[in-house]
Chain A
Amino acid sequence: MIKLENVYKSFGKLEVLKNINLEVTKGEVVCIIGPSGSGKSTLLRCLNHLERITEGRTIIDGELIDEKVKGKDSLKISPKKVALVCAELGMVFQRFNLFPHLTVLENIIEAPLTVKKIAREIVMEEATLLLKKVGLEDKKDEYPSRLSGGQQQRVAIARALAMNPKIMLFDEPTSALDPELVGEVLEVMKQLARDGMTMLVVTHEMGFAREVANRIIFMDQGQIIEDSSPEEIFSNPRQERTKSFLQKIL
């Protein structure tokens, strides 16, 4: 579903990603952990073109969507195509980024209506189902500012799901939440994993990673240091850096 080949990304002189090679197959739940500034979020953002890579190739669902050779664009992708591929990747942000001028329901139906141009009745029906799924059907006419952080993030998940994505990207979805609200968001994500969604999750929730992930990737200083199963990474990390990181946070 996702393939990164020799991906580099720099902001000016700062190299944020160095030679990233990664493959995620259908139905896999992959958690990315690591210290802040290790490039975890940038890696996610390169997948849906919120950032453009400076070297390498990214392939989503068999489509080559970004290719840079020696810093030059060797592939012309139309903005239309980019938008189309991005729509197959649902993204959930750390700070929710709900549209504050729209109600909960309007947040969810906006993209299916205006991007996919699906009939309103169908979109409304799906939105209602999604709201039920995240447990917020009674909040559909509220504005986001009236909701708690946990509720806002669940709406954001429903909003992303409304586009029927093949892959869900989570960028530290619980980091901006009060501790008592983390559980309700993780619960929705677990349900999603059980339903077989392909997920790439940047997180600091080690309990969630251990329980739900098929694979865990440890990143440090823009590189993938370790890529293995949760059992192995938590009980028997191969790399020194992984070990010292886990010791600090567990």
Chain B
Amino acid sequence: MGLQKIITAMPALLQGAGLTILLTLVSIFFGLILGLLLALGRLSKNAFFDRLSQFYIWLFRGTPLLLQIFFIYYALPTFTPITFDALPTAFIALSLNSGAYLAEIIRAAIQSIDKGQMEAAKALGMRYTQAMRRIVIPQSYRRLIPPTGNEFIALLKDSSLVSVIAMTELMRTTSLLSNSSGNAVYYIPCALLYLAMTTIFTFVFSKLEKKYSISE
């Protein structure tokens, strides 16, 4: 009965899962870059950069991701000449949103590094940016990995929200299959595929954590 249906639908489901992974990886990558910039802004002595980062984080953590997706896809074109297709919209919304969360994770990790490290670096003649890049930020990696892993898993699941703008990632693939066939059995492999993905990435992050903890 159902099993045969599932096997036939597997290529479509796997393709959906592939898009889910792609969306997550790309968004976490840009989210990390954005998050680092925002975190440095928050830590900056320059009040302007601090405020700007605070404002950004306030805006993107304070509104639903679903709203952000709709806003970029539907609202932006109504009052600006900017229009994005579904795929770029998905990438942009997920990156901008995860950037806000990662900013606070990165800021906390950097602030948790002993102040003596920056002092030692400065006493050796390093400039602030140099000391950050060579001494402080590398030490924050290990502390960054567990919460970033959390954010990654959350993002992987939240990426299902882009199904509302017709992105056929795993969630939308599944609902299309069940709607067209009138059979809800597809939600079982869907759940298993999500679990498989989160399990694999949890494993990857715990490996990373081990790798960066050699020196401690």
B2 at the A interface (CB under 8 A): no
Given contacts A101-B138, A114-B130, A114-B134, contact A86 B119 (CB under 8 A): no
B1 at the A interface (CB under 8 A): no
Interface members, chain B 114-149 (any A CB < 8 Å): 114, 116-117, 119-128, 130, 134-135, 138-139
* B119 surroundings in chain A (CB, below 8 A): 50, 93, 97
Given contacts A95-B116, A97-B116, contact A111 B124 (CB under 8 A): yes
* B122 surroundings in chain A (CB, below 8 A): 48-50, 83, 86
A62 at the B interface (CB under 8 A): no
B192 at the A interface (CB under 8 A): no
Closest to A49 in B: B122
Tell whether, in the assembled complex, residue B215 and residue A84 are in contact, meaning their CB atoms are under 8 Å apart: no
Q: How far is the CA of A101 from the CA of B134 in the complex (A)?
A: 10
Tell whether, in the assembled complex, residue A99 and residue B123 are in contact, meaning their CB atoms are under 8 Å apart: no
B82 at the A interface (CB under 8 A): no
Q: How far is the CA of A193 from the CA of B128 in the complex (A)?
A: 31
Q: 1/0 per position for A207-225, CB-CB distance to B under 8 A?
A: 0000000000000000000
Q: 1/0 per position for A57-96, CB-CB distance to B under 8 A?
A: 0000000000000000000000110011011011101010
Q: How many residues of B contact A (CB 8 A)?
A: 21
B3 at the A interface (CB under 8 A): no
A145 at the B interface (CB under 8 A): yes
Chain B at the A interface: mostly helix, strand, loop or mixed? helix
B214 at the A interface (CB under 8 A): yes
Q: How many residues of A contact B (CB 8 A)?
A: 32
Find A48's partner among B114, B123, B128, B139 (CB 8 Å cutoff).
Answer: B123
* A90 surroundings in chain B (CB, below 8 A): 123
Q: How far is the CA of A144 from the CA of B127 in the complex (A)?
A: 23
A159 at the B interface (CB under 8 A): yes
Tell whether, in the assembled complex, residue A97 and residue B114 are in contact, meaning their CB atoms are under 8 Å apart: yes
Tell whether, in the assembled complex, residue B134 and residue A83 are in contact, meaning their CB atoms are under 8 Å apart: no
A160 at the B interface (CB under 8 A): yes
* B124 surroundings in chain A (CB, below 8 A): 86-87, 110-111, 115, 159-160, 163
A100 at the B interface (CB under 8 A): yes
* A115 surroundings in chain B (CB, below 8 A): 124-126, 130
Q: How far is the CA of A80 from the CA of B126 in the complex (A)?
A: 9
Tell whether, in the assembled complex, residue B216 and residue A145 are in contact, meaning their CB atoms are under 8 Å apart: yes
Question: Distance in Å from the Cβ of A68 to the closest Cβ of chain B?
Answer: 19
Interface members, chain A 85-132 (any B CB < 8 Å): 86-87, 89-91, 93, 95, 97-102, 110-111, 114-116
Given contacts A93-B116, A93-B119, contact A83 B126 (CB under 8 A): yes
* A234 surroundings in chain B (CB, below 8 A): none
Tell whether, in the assembled complex, residue B125 and residue A83 are in contact, meaning their CB atoms are under 8 Å apart: yes
Question: Distance in Å from the Cβ of B133 to the closest Cβ of chain A?
Answer: 9
Closest to A113 in B: B134
Tell whether, in the assembled complex, residue B125 and residue A111 are in contact, meaning their CB atoms are under 8 Å apart: yes
Question: Distance in Å from the Cβ of A216 to the closest Cβ of chain B?
Answer: 24
Tell whether, in the assembled complex, residue A101 and residue B123 are in contact, meaning their CB atoms are under 8 Å apart: no
Q: How far is the CA of A101 from the CA of B124 in the complex (A)?
A: 17
Question: Distance in Å from the Cβ of A231 to the closest Cβ of chain B?
Answer: 33
Given contacts A48-B122, A97-B116, 7 further A-B contacts (CB under 8 A): A50-B122, A83-B126, A86-B125, A93-B119, A101-B139, A110-B124, A114-B130
Q: Which 3 interchain pairs have the tightest Cβ spacing?
A: A87-B125, A97-B120, A111-B124
Listed by A's residue number, 10 A-B pairs whose Cβ atoms lie within 8 Å are A79-B127, A87-B124, A91-B123, A93-B123, A97-B114, A97-B119, A98-B120, A99-B120, A99-B135, A159-B124
Which A residues are closer than 8 A to B by beta carbons?
Answer: 48-50, 79-80, 83-84, 86-87, 89-91, 93, 95, 97-102, 110-111, 114-116, 143-145, 156, 159-160, 163
